[in-house]
Structure 1
Amino acid sequence: MVDPDDIKAELRKRALEIGFDAVGFAPADQPQEAGDRLKDFVEAGYYGDMGWMPETYERRRHPQALWPEARSVIVLAQNYGPEDDPLAVLDQPEQGGVSVYARHRDYHDLVKKRLKQLARWMHETLDCDVKVFVDTAPVMEKPLAQSAGVGWQGKHTNLLSRDLGNWFFLGEVFTTMELPPDEPESEHCGSCRACLDICPTNAFPAPFQLDARRCISYLTIEHKGHIPEELRKPMGNRIYGCDDCLAICPWNKFAQKTREEKLRAREDLKGPSLAYLASLDDASFREFFSGSPIKRTGRNRFLRNVLIAIGNSGRNEMIPHATQHLDDDSPLVRAMAVWALFQLMLLAEFKTLRQKHLSKEEDAAVIEEWNRAS
């Protein structure tokens, strides 16, 4: 094959046969606007404690800043559409809300394997150099996907598709081969602001802008420390990620259930019991979340989230599940056990616990939690 359009057609055909759900082609010399928006995001401090954002800015701002030899980018989408309403679990306070993307096996493994399969064929058949990326690399994949016609960035800053709604992962194959680009996708949000209005923590300073420091997905997954007190109540029972702004989008009327078995939700992660999750030590946490992206967060941060959900449950029967963590090895866990118990107990009961535990507490943040609560 020598005709670029024939090469594109064959690549699209092979990508779909491998298991991807959408394919687009973008030039590697992207316009500067996306890099400027990233710069604004970093300068505003919206990245929180994700220090890798400013550290990788120069490589992230432009595809050729990451790999100067790149000439084209193939953007591939993998549908992970849920079988049921992701917001339904929010009405079940004794259960934990887990983001749809994390209710199954870690998607990085599946997507990267398929990217490598396509890239290997390109290298061997088309005699070009290739590099593959999933979202662990410094790639501005959403602007690239919009440039490739796969979708557009909505007001919630996530990518939207008229065929897949919000529910798809992205991966990229960078190549030294020059391929004709597809027509970029335009924005189709109109006057709708459903995704902005539903956000429990008001994480959107304006349409198309996200302050990660207020985003529940960031707070429950990326943030390593104590979650600010004013954001704990709005978290409700969301223990890993948040799908509110995705699930409410009207474009999901075109979304499809995933056809990929490895991306279908585990039954025990559709609405796991908070009581059970609170019982996990490090070994049982690792066993329960084997193969799951949740495992990377670590037991202590995850228990922090679970205890906030317990405190928000309003259920007295949850008190023992929080009390057991007042002597936990992790100060992060102990502090949230204190907060949860203050939400659930009568003040006299809480003060009795305080008298018993505060005298032997050594961590300043946990002591502050006891004092602030009482």
Structure 2
Amino acid sequence: MSDPVCTVLDAAAALGAASGLAGEFAAGAAERDARRTLPYAEVDRLAASGLLAITVPREHGGADLPTSVVAEVFRRLAAGDPNIAQIPHSHFVYVNQLRLRGDGAQQRRLFAEVLRGKRFGNAQTEFGTKHVRDHRTALTPDGEGRWRLNGTKFYCTGALFADWIPVLAHLGIDGPMHVAWVRRDAQGVEVVDDWDGIGQRTTASGTVRLQNVAVTDEWITPYASTFEGPQTYGAFAQVLHAAIDAGIGRAALEEAAEFVRTKSRPYPDAGVERAADDPLTVRAFGEMELALRGAEALLKEAASAVDEANADLTEESAARASLAVAAARAATAKAAVDTASRVFEVAGTRSALAGLNLDRHWRNARVHTLHDPAAWKVQHLGRWALDGAPPPRHGQL
């Protein structure tokens, strides 16, 4: 039996599907976190919805939806379960990489896979290297047009659920970085579920081991050259991270509000019947709402800036997009962590009971916001504000 073809979703249908799935995912999010139950069935539902194909270019049969829609899809999914929202992050990033650097044959083959519901994972970061952009994994020659891939990667979110694992590797021991597209079930590929973070516990962001994996030229795309000129590759990836943080913050606030309305007791000095009528509690919720609204507004602005840059890509438009995304990342990171922590202050001691698992929001926010230092986002914004210095083109801004 052939694989089903994904439904091509327009913007309204994509957002509707994201909202519907978010509601389904939210129902089991706390229990999955508590038991560390990996969301295989939920990721299958996500793939079956057609959402994973919404950025496939129109000329290849996809909807080619803009960043503004994709970011909102991620925000809605993350408000349901940010673990599930993070799992396809690299899928979308590598669909974008394929669009930018794949040749015609590679695009036809791999975009067709996406339209059949196939998923991309990732194998990028490595332990023990000098920094996050330092890699040892390499493709070594094995004859004309043939290579062998060897290395070990970590933080491989999505790999355990993937059909294809794009791997960052040197082409040759010291050659430029390329992407090797390997099948999840290829000989020599081992995906290990050894992620034990305190938050985002069910993303399965563990290890990928690559031992003498055979790769041919047709499954290798350039990577380093992506950053030789103006690009929105990094901004696109980063704005989806911001959307996940925004979703975490919104979910924390909404769950806290429900708890305060239905379970919290008022403090006697307030002289009110309901905790929700305590003026100090009301003010606290207002402050959190204000911070989240500001972060969500910056998220929308950033996603629109990426779309604008894609429509007319120049050094200036790419820099504007990166700076807008930097602002959104810094704001959503702070809003998510602060809100997820403050919910206990407003909900009271009872909210700290382990069985409620309200702390998952803080743990998810704290772990997910560690992807890139927010302080460096602010640093680049400051350099631009002071001297008009453009941000770097390394893909993490």
The verdict on a shared fold, with TM-score over 0.5 as the criterion, is: no
Q: Structure with the greater relative contact order (CA < 8 A, sep ≥ 6): 1 or 2?
A: 1
TM-score by length of structure 1 reads 0.26
Rg: which structure is higher? 1
TM-score by length of structure 2 reads 0.25
More helix by percentage: 2
